[in-house]
Chain A
């Protein structure tokens, strides 16, 4: 193994959603602020500002509970379209320094700046420059960690948040790690932490002091992994364009929905939204998975694959509808669609003799040749329609059956952009 060098950056925006809202409405300054769903609608907090965090409010907490902790809490509905736009700008800044950018979410990414030194200076200088550039261009504050591996870089960015800038040099890595609780290790959750505690291990230093074989015996492959990390060993590389395996969209309803017609309309909405996102990323999908949660929280999934990959919403919808038929007729608390079996639109595609799958469908259900041609036309004009949607908003062109309907709002207040 080559000697570790300081080339990995982890950049994490501070209270991203809340900070954007704060930036856009200065009257909110100094007030406890969160973004999320309304408490009346089983809402949950999706992000809390620092002021609100002082009261113990954190993400994934039911809004009602957050309100109890902090009665004066201001809960704003999330504006994902706005956050996405800011995120794009930030990612653009990253990519102006290095092509090796691995986004983890809208507001967080790993960067590998090896080989960029001649252009922009060393990793520490680049980290400072990025932090400054983000502030200058977006008015937002980021925390930056610089280290020799992903694990240490992420640890570093977290160490003096907010507005942090922390460098962990290879030679100081073990000293930094030693006193930290084991839960700081990526992969050590509550359960593993408890099991480690039973072994008398609370800190990373104590874990590192254990024999590797002992840890492996107790925890299997995870054991090898956490033992390596405890020694600051992490060979994961920064991989730009993380391969996405599926696209999904699910919503917990503010009130359980029993009407099949209503559920079908939601499905159409989800499928259209997912299809747009697929096209936006230059992908197609083949497999449709429907997720349904009943009032008693029992959750089931149903899956079916198309004979080909596509990114036309109604094709997914026709499968999703079929899958909904296989879900018992009870009120649903949550409905979701996930698309997998992704391929690039540039992948060559085998043509089919009979359009859709005549073998799998009963004759009366098979789309007529006219329907097939209509779908093929839709596939071709989508490029133009998407252009309109991006320019004038997603709602510029929508299926007629969704006209005049408000988009389904998620529990955390998110909704499909319109």
Chain B
């Protein structure tokens, strides 16, 4: 195999692949990147067996001699990154892979290409077509709410549902939940029959390869796997097993108390008050009186703080307390100038309306006795 490639294109491709490729693995072969040169393109393949990427470069390359090589991914990426020249030459000779660029070069050890796991090819049959921006914005609105701590397997991803001409995404860690949807052209087909939970890591890579919001991308669900195809990349993620919680049951349909506040001001005031709350069980109390919202926070070791702001609220005074980080996470994504907060009691979920077709539920913090 012998290939010439624009250095910057190669570096970007390696950077994408390294998002998936583990730096250490019980299966050492996985720490490699598989490079396949065919007449018209150079393809880089990486996988950790949960998420896989196939990234192709079809511009700025010249394939002199097609072939396949498997080399340590991190080393190759770092070496290419630190090169100064414009064009990189990759040539396989026997069991070494030579990288040359201007006056500099290196030889990398290669691994047996036969050992590298097979990564499937994107199947366009039955795939949905949508705009990249639609997809990435839904991920951005929801994925932050997914669980990170161990032991809540089915919540370590984003639930993706397709139906009624809508693409819907839901993520929750059991304490807060983000739900958003956007119209897509489903051509009257419905989505996967089983709920599909895409691991957060897979979602991040999907977004990483969707660099242009206006690009059209394809989304395909298969048994146990979801794949996307963009102009340059195919990414596959193994779906999470397990049952996603029945989220619709926890979204309050009607609420007794509701107020509207300027999102930016609210976010700033919450941060302000949160400064004095403790590290564990952080809580900021929202106290509503007609036209006013008071935010208070305190901790035994630090002190107490109060902030006030005008809000649109009518009704009997009421209060509810939230973890300020959770509320701020949502407000950061608020798409309109005003946020609407609805809740029934101080022990029932708080519903934040952060934009059109965008709901964020946060469970309050309560104090017994």
Contacts and interface: CB of A to CB of B under 8 A. Distances in A.
With a 10 A CB-CB cut-off, give which of A351, A357, A363 has the most chain B CB atoms: A351
B183 interface: no
B367 interface: yes
A354 interface: yes
Contacts of B174: 307, 352-354, 357-359
A373 to B, nearest CB: 13
A351 B280 CA distance: 14
Contacts, number: 71
A360 B152 contact: yes
B367 A359 contact: no
A348 interface: yes
B151 A350 contact: no
A307 B173 CA distance: 11
Contacts of B323: 350
B175 A352 contact: yes
A191 interface: no
B359 to A, nearest CB: 13
A397 to B, nearest CB: 20
A281 interface: no
A353 B349 contact: yes
A143 to B, nearest CB: 38
Contacts of A360: 151-153
A95 to B, nearest CB: 23
Nearest to A353: B250
Contacts of A351: 175, 347, 349, 363-366
A213 to B, nearest CB: 38
Interface string B282-295: 01000000000000
Contacts of A80: none
A401 interface: no
Interface string B142-159: 000001000111110000
B301 interface: no
B349 A346 contact: no
Contacts of B153: 359-360
Interface in B316-369: 321, 323, 347, 349, 361, 363-369
Interface string A352-396: 111001111001000001000000000000000000000000000
B335 to A, nearest CB: 23
Given A358-B154, A359-B151, A359-B152, A350 B281 contact: yes
B242 interface: yes
B27 to A, nearest CB: 27
Contact of A353 (B245, B283, B321): B245
Given A354-B245, A359-B153, A345 B363 contact: no
With a 10 A CB-CB cut-off, give which of A307, A354, A357, A369 has the most chain B CB atoms: A354
Interface in B211-225: none
A241 interface: no
Chain A interface secondary structure, helix, strand, loop or mixed? Answer: loop
A346 B367 contact: yes
A363 B245 CA distance: 9
B365 A357 contact: no
Contacts of B59: none
B367 A348 contact: yes
A354 B249 CA distance: 9
A348 to B, nearest CB: 5
B172 interface: yes
With a 10 A CB-CB cut-off, give which of A348, A358, A363 has the most chain B CB atoms: A348
B277 to A, nearest CB: 10
Given A357-B151, A359-B147, A360-B152, A350 B363 contact: yes
A364 to B, nearest CB: 10
Contacts of B7: none
B243 interface: yes
Contacts of A347: 280-281, 367
Nearest to B147: A359
A351 B173 CA distance: 12
A354 B173 CA distance: 10
Given A353-B174, A359-B242, A346 B361 contact: no
Contact of B152 (A345, A346, A357, A369): A357
A349 interface: yes
A348 B361 CA distance: 19
A339 B252 CA distance: 35
Interface string A279-311: 000000000000000000000000000010000
Nearest to B244: A358
Nearest to A284: B368
B195 to A, nearest CB: 12
B242 A349 contact: no
B233 interface: no
A348 B283 contact: yes
Interface in B146-188: 147, 151-155, 172, 174-177
A347 B300 CA distance: 11
Interface in B194-212: none
Given A348-B366, A350-B281, 5 more contacts: A345-B369, A349-B367, A351-B175, A353-B176, A354-B246
The 10 lowest CB-CB distance pairs between A and B, nearest first, are A359-B152, A351-B363, A358-B245, A354-B245, A348-B281, A348-B365, A363-B243, A348-B283, A353-B250, A359-B155
30 contacts: A307-B174, A346-B369, A347-B281, A348-B366, A348-B367, A349-B365, A349-B368, A350-B363, A351-B347, A351-B349, A351-B363, A351-B366, A352-B174, A352-B363, A353-B177, A353-B245, A353-B250, A353-B361, A353-B363, A354-B174, A354-B250, A357-B152, A358-B152, A358-B243, A359-B151, A359-B154, A359-B155, A359-B242, A360-B151, A369-B249
Interface of B: 147, 151-155, 172, 174-177, 242-243, 245-246, 249-250, 280-281, 283, 321, 323, 347, 349, 361, 363-369
